[in-house]
Structure 1
């Protein structure tokens, strides 16, 4: 089963997404990486000594197979960069995850807008979210956000209420609802769109994971709209990634 080799590569210590992508570009397939001898891996020029040692010494598939079994039990699907459901617009960045976990229905053909912003919203901010999200839904855009309190949750809700398609990208495993009070919203998003994470089930929310989540919101979007957020916020991190990826970024 090819999938286990993809998961194996994501679980090697000190092999981050950038290094994993370089290996895939060079060798084409994670199974080829798995089966390569030490000299072949060294000759790629990609790995430092610690990374090389970790790949050579870590050929145990128990963790990869455990993730597959856990996902099957929890109703979580897995996509790799080789799958057609992985959007082209998101897969060519050097920090694109080679594996993603999801619940719901992937839709790769629609244009997408990331709508992010303040956690604490004024009534005026809420009105802006409703207006802007409704406009994008009417144009056929997917609405992408992070299922956080405030602007994120309003954007998802407006998309659902207007029969739109919405994607929630989270910074934890999909067996965990964060924040916990969004459990009903999470189920609605799964039914009407897609729940997405680069983290396997059992991964708890942690502050350092949210900037990584924000980069995915940008990567999966054609445009970014920031509503009511202050500088230094997570929404501005999303916008910064949008600039890095060459996407249109609007501030409201």
Structure 2
């Protein structure tokens, strides 16, 4: 697994180039041994070729692998059958994920995201939606953040559901720290997933990538309140890009009216209650 870790952590080499390299060479071992001329031949940019050449050492990968083993973290490479086929080819999906808990990939699966400072109306809607879906054994995907994410996964756990949480830190880190009990419950009953190695601390662009993975693993995405510039809006953007079925909660809270109207104007369907999504879900079960 050292070379999977190596490939996934080369600076300036993102998921698209990672997958291009695997497509050309077949496995990380052959990528590791590829010559500069071979890399140039398949269209790898000069900057990326330089990054690969500068990262030939496996010392970093060995240190990460030691941490993974010490902290009982599972590695999910792209060629593992548990890596969902509907997620692995999404442009933003990396070739390696770090996992704590148990993966049960299945469709449908619903991403529920929204504002950290949500209204009580939206919180109750998230709880109701998550409870109904969990009673149907449909996984609930979210980001372990405050507000809507917390409500969705708490209701999922209360109804014996399968929570899937994507985070923007290493899976050995709980962020925010006050969600420690929820984080541990999700690991016990579902799974926490990150593309970042253990010890990784939060950074703004990592939350954007986290939001992309929430969309990638979801068949449907429900946005329950979002400001125009927010993580939930970013998730909605990725969901449209990934051709997911997206819904937006019609909030009575004036703070979120501009965000709601923006999404409605983009053609995203309104979410009023569970019945708004039920007819989309049932044919897939």
Shorter-chain TM-score bucket reads: over 0.9
Q: Which residue of 1 aligns with 2:168?
A: 171
- Say yes or no: does 1:19 pair with 2:17: yes
2:209 counterpart SS class: helix
Where in structure 2 are the equivalents of 1:33-52 lying within 5 Å?
33-45=31-43, 47-52=44-49
- Choose the corresponding residue for 2:111, options 101, 114, 133: 114
2:110 counterpart SS class: strand
Where in structure 2 are the equivalents of 1:70-219 lying within 5 Å?
70-219=67-216
Q: Which runs of 5+ in 1 are unaligned?
A: none
Question: Matched residue pairs, number?
Answer: 249
Instruction: Give the distance between the partners of 1:29 and 1:101, measured in 2 at CA.
Output: 18
Q: Which moved more, 1:224-233 or 1:179-188?
A: 224-233
CA contact under 8 A between 1:21 and 1:95: conserved in structure 2? no
CA RMSD of aligned residues (A): 1.1
Once the two structures are superposed, what CA deviation does each residue of 1:127-154 show, in whole Å capped at 9, x if it has no partner? 1111111222223210000000000011
- Choose the corresponding residue for 2:27, options 24, 29, 32: 29
Q: Which residue of 2 aligns with 1:223?
A: 220
Cα offset, 1:28, TM superposition: 1.4
Once the two structures are superposed, what CA deviation does each residue of 1:161-187 show, in whole Å capped at 9, x if it has no partner? 000001110000112110000000000
TM-score by length of 1: 0.95
Cα offset, 1:109, TM superposition: 2.7
2:235 counterpart SS class: helix
Instruction: Give the distance between the partners of 1:230 and 1:38, measured in 2 at CA.
Output: 46
CA contact under 8 A between 2:74 and 2:98: conserved in structure 1? yes
Instruction: Give the distance between the partners of 2:117 and 2:2, measured in 1 at CA.
Output: 42
2:22 counterpart SS class: helix
1:224 counterpart SS class: strand
TM-score by length of 2: 0.85
Instruction: Give the distance between the partners of 2:87 and 2:167, measured in 1 at CA.
Output: 16
Cα offset, 1:110, TM superposition: 4.2
Instruction: Give the distance between the partners of 1:129 and 1:50, measured in 2 at CA.
Output: 44
